[in-house]
Amino acid sequence: MRALLLTPVAVLAAGCGSLSEGQAERAHASRIQEAVSAYETARRGGDILDMCVKAKLTAIAYEDAKQSANHLAWKARESEDCRAAYAAMAPAAE
């Protein structure tokens, strides 16, 4: 009798792991979408420093989602944008 009561609980608990994984994937996808959208807004506005920051946040979002190829691509974009932002802020050499 005791085994019959524990079986439904075990079956229900087994399904919770995949539900959490699905929720995590949706959370990562949402965070990535928000980060890319924020980057695009900064790019359209022409704010080079903001593009640097948003590229970094997007790279982190991809890293957290364990999407290494996208993470590396955004790290490269971050490097490029931050280099441009630094050049724009550096005093002119005389």
In this structure, is residue 4 part of a structural domain?
A: no
Residue 55 φ then ψ, to 5°? -65, -40
pLDDT tens track for 30-88: 999 999 999 999 999 999 999 999 999 999 999 999 999 999 999 999 999 999 999 99
**Cβ-based burial of 46 (10 A; exposed 0-12, middle 13-18, buried ≥19):** exposed
In this structure, is residue 8 part of a structural domain?
A: no
- What is the tally of structural domains in the chain? 1
Q: Which domain holds residue 74?
A: 13-88
Long-range CB contacts (< 8 A, 24+ apart) of 82-87?
Answer: 82/52, 82/55, 82/56, 84/48, 84/51, 84/52, 85/48, 85/49, 85/51, 85/52
Q: Is the pLDDT of residue 10 over 90?
A: no
In this structure, is residue 79 part of a structural domain?
A: yes
Q: Give me the pLDDT at residue 16, please.
A: 52
In this structure, is residue 37 part of a structural domain?
A: yes
